[in-house]
Amino acid sequence: MKRLLLFVHFNKYDGLSDYILYLLEHIKHIYSRIVFISNSVISEDQKIKVAKLCNAIILRENKGYDFAAWKEGLLKETWDVLTQYDNVTLMNDTCFGPLFDIEPIYNRFEDQSLDFWGMTNCPYANNGMPGTNDAIPEHVQSYFICFKNKVLQSKVFRTFWENVQIETKVENVIQKYETRLTGILGKTGFIYTTLYDTNIRTGITHHPDLATWYPDLCINNKVPFVKVKSFIRFPHPKYILKLIQEKSEYPVSLIQDAISDSYDPFTALLVCDKLIPARVNRELPETSLKIAVHLHVFYLDLFEQYFIYFDSFLFNFDLFITTDTLEKSKEISDCLESHVTAKKIKEIIITENRGRDIIPWLSIGDRLADYDIVGHFHTKRSPVAEEWSGITWQQEINDLLLRPINEIVNIFNTNSKIGIIIPELPFIFHIPIPLRFSYEKNMQVTMQGLWRKMECRKDINFEVLMTPIMSCGTMFWYRPEALRRLFQLKISMEEVPPEPLTIDGTLLHCIERIVVYLAWNEGFDYRIMVPESQKISGFVDNLMLNQQFVINEQLRNEKIMILRSRSYRLSRVLLVPLRVFRKIINFILK
């Protein structure tokens, strides 16, 4: 059979995800010709990779979504050439796969008296049409649809595509093209089917789009593609990952990488494996990475505990220490005489007592930029909280970022995509007050302004972010390249308020919350170090607490509005006899 594939690609941040290369690699043998149509920018290196997997590449502006891109591909091939194919397949990159070999599917449907077919259909629904909430006609879903030669030669098919316009809203594309094409061809007498007919679905379903909302049903019915958005819509996305591993040989790491790159860090946490058990690995890590540690010392009685850990490091590293007085600097030097880490000290820098650990750290960014990975630490104390909270918080950080140091170095050494490693959410934020209670509106606005000021390319709305993924206490391991925009800002001490600081809401607190998102913006992933037995991150628990808090607040506000409404109605009822009584009194007095 002579087959043509028109494959449409789009990445809102430009570039090309590995799952697309995998997909093309595993289906290219089916087609006589593949045309790759990109609605976004791809690099020269990526073009070379794609060129090995297809016969032609069309680069175009992101106008009109996939239907306008398919139209351009069809017209460039010309109708005379298209009619020489046994079938033409239209596909886009909104799905992962193939989970299973799709050639038997082609062979099966090519032997049947069909005119066009797809992987899944969307059954008729009384409402739900995007943009209008009107009825949705039954249609073959356009992420994968194959047309046989009889359709290709028809006037109705050509007329449909020639009338496709550049739409600026995706709702219009769905209304005018995706949901109508099946019906237009069906009225002409063309026969169609799908691999999984969702009209005969079993089980309780509440949404007609099974491919997006019920990926488990699709996988169990041998649909070879899984919609990307299904990992966002399905309530238990990690179950879908496990199901894919059980049912196929598809590398789920491709899914995790794509989700991590395209969706914000918290969404990725719900889908992907971001947790690393804090195991103590006694073996010397094999690495050529150039490593540095920055330690800001303000509380002298706390700094020496770090050197107990530093002395046990089995790899080479350089140590940079910042502190705020010459006296402290001398005392630090005297105390270090009994520690082997003293030989690792690159420099002791005296800074002004302003900006706590963050501004001193940023001020030596040029020195730290020469290293592959850097650990940022400081002598933490919580003067505004009870003493036990600060002590336990500090110990948790040490247990998660210093004791398993060999494991951390190995992660950076073996996975170049990891840009930052943070500790698990401290226990004090698990109970009973969730983290966002102090995540105030003014700071959300400040974070959004900081994001824009750094000209970050990815979209994030901090004003609706309920639980930020962050290193509470601002201690973490990172690649300088991942946080380069923060250092390029050259924030000065004058830009932060002097001590004593408020408990929250300052620029320093914004920086504490934004570093993971900066790494994500630069195309890096993150990991959270957790206790060995822990399976679920405290950030997820925290989100649930916040959601319950919001629900309770909404219910409380609704009750207040109801009571106010009742009081108002009662006052209106009482007002009438009161007016009459006042008139009688006035008459008597006269």
CA 74 to chain centre: 34
Highest mean pLDDT among 12-16, 243-247, 326-330, 490-494: 243-247
Contact 254, 414 (CB under 8 A): no
pTM: 0.86
pLDDT at 300 over 80: yes
What does the pLDDT look like over 335-374, one tens digit per residue?
Answer: 888 888 889 999 999 998 888 899 999 999 999 999 999 9
129 vs 468: CA distance, rounded Å: 33
Peptide bond between residue 277 and the one before it cis (omega within 30 degrees of 0) = no
Give percent of the chain above pLDDT 90. 69
How far apart CA 565 and CA 330 sit, in angstroms, is: 69
Tens of pLDDT along 393-451?
889 999 999 999 999 999 999 999 999 999 998 887 765 555 554 456 667 888 999 99
The whole-angstrom separation of Cα 279 and Cα 409 is 12
The number of residues making up the chain comes to: 590
- The 3-class SS string of 474-489 reads CCEEECHHHHHHHHHC
Show the tokens assigned to 369: 């930029």
pLDDT band at 535 (very low <50, low <70, confident <90, very high): confident
When pLDDT is averaged across residues 23-44 and rounded to a whole number, the result is 97
> Which pLDDT belongs to residue 570?
47
* More confident site: 380 or 586: 380
- Residue pair 255/237 in contact (Cβ under 8 Å)? The answer is no
Of 142-156, 272-286, 289-303, 325-339, give the lowest mean pLDDT range. 272-286
Least Cα distance to 316 among 282, 364, 284, 348 occurs for 284
- b/e 504-539 (16+ beta carbons within 10 angstroms → b): bbbbbbbbbbbbbbbbbbbbbbbbbbbeeeeeebbb
Q: Which residues pair with 418 in a beta bridge?
A: 525
- The encoded tokens of residue 60 equal 């175009």
Contact 542, 436 (CB under 8 A): yes
Phi (first) and psi of residue 474, to 5 degrees: 55, 55
For the cut 80, the answer to whether the pLDDT of residue 59 exceeds it is yes
The CA distance from 101 to 254, in Å, is 18
Pick the more confident residue, 558 or 190.
Answer: 190
Q: Show the CA angle centred on residue 132, arms to residues 130 and 135, nearest 5°.
A: 80
Answer whether residue 200 shows pLDDT above 90.
no
**Which two tokens mark 457?**
């390319």
pLDDT tier at 551 (50, 70, 90 boundaries)? low
pLDDT classification of 291: cutoffs 50, 70, 90: very high
pLDDT (tens digit, 9 = 90+) per residue, 97-124? 999 999 999 999 999 999 999 999 999 9
Out of 101-105, 138-142, 151-155, 534-538, which region has the weakest mean confidence (pLDDT)? 534-538
Model pLDDT for residues 67-79, shown as the tens digit of each residue:
999 999 999 999 9
Asked if pLDDT for residue 577 goes beyond 90, the answer is: no
Q: How far apart are the first and last CA of the chain?
A: 107
Q: What is the per-residue pLDDT across 307-343, written as a single tens digit (0 to 9) for each?
A: 999 998 988 999 999 999 999 999 999 888 888 888 9
Residues 470-479: tens digit of each pLDDT: 998 899 999 9
The DSSP element (H or E) to which 77 belongs, if any, is helix 65-77
Question: If you average pLDDT over every residue of the chain, what do you get?
Answer: 89
pLDDT-derived band at 169, boundaries 50, 70, 90 = very high
* Secondary element (H or E) of residue 89: strand 87-92
- Mean pLDDT computed over 125-143: 93
